[in-house]
Chains A and B, each alone.
Chain A
Amino acid sequence: MEEPNVTASTIISFAKKLEEDSSRFYERLAEKFAENRETFLSFARESERNKELVARTYQETITDALEACFSFKGLNLNDYIVETTLTEDTRYSDGLTMAVQLEVKAGKFYSDVAERSKSLLATIPRAFREVAERRNGRKLRLKSLLDDTK
């Protein structure tokens, strides 16, 4: 199967949207489930910071002389999208399960793009790795909350 090349700007736009969507999702989760309101709100705030970090790093280091348009090979961005719609029927444990899935996919996305951007300036993969680690930390926290429901 042909591996598409994804441009750097596509990756950055995707990351920004991922963080925006994540932030909104956790805000809704906080509204709906008071049990861990502060945790969810802190995740929402962290996603805003992640977005700023990724956007700033890109803006400060993008250069037309490196392989910005040709680095991100073999990525299908649809693979990293998770359905996170909360309905009135969504139970607390369902919300947490969705959140864990979101973090798994997001963490995978940032790890994958960090790996593929190694040949760009050092700050780019570092920023991606940093966000991947934060996402992984969230995943562990959410899994622990989910375990508490069982």
Chain B
Amino acid sequence: MTVLEEPIKEVLTLRNYIDGEWVESEGELADVVNPATCRVIARIPISTRDEVNAAVEAAKKAFPEWRRTPPLARARCLFRLKQLMEEHFEELSRIQTMEHGKTIDESRGETRRGIENVEVATGIPSLMMGYNLEDIAAGIDEYLIRQPLGVFGIIPAFNFPFMVPLWFAPYAVATGNCVIIKPSPHVPISQVKLVELVDEAGFPPGVWNVVHGGGTVASHMLAHPDIKGFCFVGSTAVGKDIYRRCGETGKRVIAQCGAKNFLLVMPDADLERTIAACMTSFYGNTGQRCLSGANLVVVGEGLNEKEYSAFYSKVADAFVGAASKIRVGYGLDESVQMGPVQNRDRKERILGFIQKGVEEGARLTLDGRKIKLVGDWPHTCFLNPTVFEDITPDMTIGREEIFGPIASIMRARSFDEAMEMIHDNPYGNAASIFTSSGKWAREFQYRVECGNIGINIGIAAPMAFFPFSGMKNSFFGTLHGQGREAVRFFTESKVVIQRWF
């Protein structure tokens, strides 16, 4: 076992980044803990209301000049940022592993996806263009201009500390807005490192700000009248509340929330590749992503009872066999396939779900509470992959978002029954089907009420140039993050009708 060198050597004391300056907070400090080693790696301030106000003031002050900066010049700042991110690729990735726990492959993948959003946003001179039409009436022309609005707040989740703010921030600043990011207090270091690069890339002071803290800081931001809109990624309960508050105050909002994702395995699926995709889906990022598989539905469409029983056993055995071999440990060990959950409280919550599953009569086929690690690490935040069988969709573990490395294998005798299971669930973030049949694939994508659809894909993660969708209790808002929809979200459509006498 070889562990890659840790880029954080001593305990960092984090500061806010306001108006192009690193500012020490007067707020209380909280610990940031590496969940694999349980060592404190940073101290983060819980910023005060005055500090939030200062960030908003700085962003507001920077906005008029920034919006007048030609889009190409704004894009050049992003080009420089992209280059710096490439140069610091490995450091950025290892920091994610240290503060979040994910494997180094996953962190590097996250860094890449973050960079891709910056790359897409550099196309803003084309993406932001409006459109026009001559002669809508005699001698009258009409055209549409996209204009920035001002200051936006970004409140990301803990599960992708580097990437999630980049679903929004590059598009916000590319379109001429200014941003205030409040990183998750559990994983704030990635955003600090990113903003060091933002600073080096030469963004004007006040365009890109970072204010640390938890719920109280988010609440100060939401109450501020000069913030025009919010991008939030996190739980459904908080997302709903933010959506409501933004509605009351007339702010725009993208609220990407919780999930309970179903993966259907049809009898004609390529089982070997399906299982490999399922391992990434259910256990990648230790199950802590809104696109993770939660319920694996073995569908018996067209099979008689005997055939279905054999098919179910084949899928379940292969799944459990593969899950039981996943190597769990510190993500900076390159041989590791799954890291710890992000903190002790999250682990406790997941343990509660496992207990609930047992109590409700589900069969615990693979018990992840029996910890087996690569390397000698404290067990505090670790769990091994868990598999439940004999689950029904009304059981707690079949219905609620767990956000951990737990898979529930379910049975559906027909495709229609599987669709009903999905639609009875309040979430609608992602769903996948594994099949060799174009007919079933088409039927699935046509009917399923979920925003991100995988066809023989375990993690239906939209690329930066597509919107990150979501439906039902998984999304509140109209436009989504990433790509063209983000450009629309961060701009107002102004229509001009023109006639010259």
Q: Which residues of A contact B (CB under 8 A)?
A: 2, 4-10, 13, 58-71, 73, 119
For B, the interface residue count at a CB cutoff of 8 angstroms equals: 34
Residues in chain A near residue B108, CB distance under 8 A: 9, 58-59, 62, 64
Return the contact of B337 from the options A58, A63, A69, A119 (Cβ within 8 A): A69
> Is the Cβ of A69 less than 8 Å from the Cβ of B105?
yes
> Is the Cβ of B325 less than 8 Å from the Cβ of A65?
no
Residues in chain B near residue A10, CB distance under 8 A: 334-335
> Is the Cβ of B334 less than 8 Å from the Cβ of A69?
no
> Is the Cβ of A65 less than 8 Å from the Cβ of B109?
yes
Interface CB pairs A-B, < 8 A, 11: A7-B335, A10-B335, A60-B112, A64-B107, A64-B461, A65-B113, A65-B291, A65-B457, A67-B458, A69-B280, A69-B337
Residues in chain A near residue B322, CB distance under 8 A: 70
Return the contact of B112 from the options A2, A59, A67, A70 (Cβ within 8 A): A59
Residues in chain B near residue A61, CB distance under 8 A: 112
Minimum CB–CB distance from B113 to chain A (whole Å) comes to 6
> Is the Cβ of B337 less than 8 Å from the Cβ of A70?
yes
Residues in chain B near residue A7, CB distance under 8 A: 103, 105, 334-337
Does B144 belong to the interface (CB within 8 Å)? no
Task: Tell me whether chain A's interface is mostly helix, strand or loop, or mixed.
Answer: loop
> Is the Cβ of A67 less than 8 Å from the Cβ of B279?
yes
Task: Tell me whether chain B's interface is mostly helix, strand or loop, or mixed.
Answer: helix
Residues in chain A near residue B81, CB distance under 8 A: none
Residues in chain B near residue A9, CB distance under 8 A: 103-105, 108, 334
Does B106 belong to the interface (CB within 8 Å)? yes
Residues in chain A near residue B325, CB distance under 8 A: 2, 4-5
In the complex, the chain B residue whose C-beta lies closest to that of A60 is: B112
> Is the Cβ of A8 less than 8 Å from the Cβ of B105?
yes
Instruction: Tally inter-chain residue pairs, CB-CB below 8 A.
Output: 85
> Is the Cβ of B89 less than 8 Å from the Cβ of A64?
no
Residues in chain B near residue A13, CB distance under 8 A: 334
Given contacts A62-B105, A62-B109, A70-B280, 9 further A-B contacts (CB under 8 A): A5-B325, A9-B334, A10-B335, A62-B108, A62-B112, A63-B109, A64-B108, A64-B110, A65-B280
Residues in chain A near residue B458, CB distance under 8 A: 67
Minimum CB–CB distance from B172 to chain A (whole Å) comes to 24
Residues in chain B near residue A64, CB distance under 8 A: 102, 105-110, 113, 284-285, 459, 461
Residues in chain B near residue A62, CB distance under 8 A: 105, 108-109, 112
Residues in chain A near residue B113, CB distance under 8 A: 63-65
In the complex, the chain B residue whose C-beta lies closest to that of A66 is: B280
Minimum CB–CB distance from B201 to chain A (whole Å) comes to 19
Residues in chain A near residue B336, CB distance under 8 A: 7
> Is the Cβ of B280 less than 8 Å from the Cβ of A67?
yes
Does B273 belong to the interface (CB within 8 Å)? yes
Residue picked from B284, B285, B326, most chain A C-beta under 10 Å:
B284
Minimum CB–CB distance from A122 to chain B (whole Å) comes to 14
Residues in chain B near residue A2, CB distance under 8 A: 325
Residues in chain A near residue B102, CB distance under 8 A: 64
Complex Cα distance A115/B127, Å? Answer: 38
Considering only residues 54-90 of chain B, those with a C-beta below 8 Å from chain A are: 86, 89
Considering only residues 321-351 of chain B, those with a C-beta below 8 Å from chain A are: 322, 325-327, 334-338
Residues in chain A near residue B279, CB distance under 8 A: 67, 69-70
Complex Cα distance A4/B458, Å? Answer: 21
Complex Cα distance A42/B112, Å? Answer: 33
> Is the Cβ of B461 less than 8 Å from the Cβ of A65?
yes
> Is the Cβ of B276 less than 8 Å from the Cβ of A71?
yes
Residues in chain B near residue A66, CB distance under 8 A: 280, 459
Complex Cα distance A67/B274, Å? Answer: 10
Minimum CB–CB distance from B276 to chain A (whole Å) comes to 5
Does B277 belong to the interface (CB within 8 Å)? yes
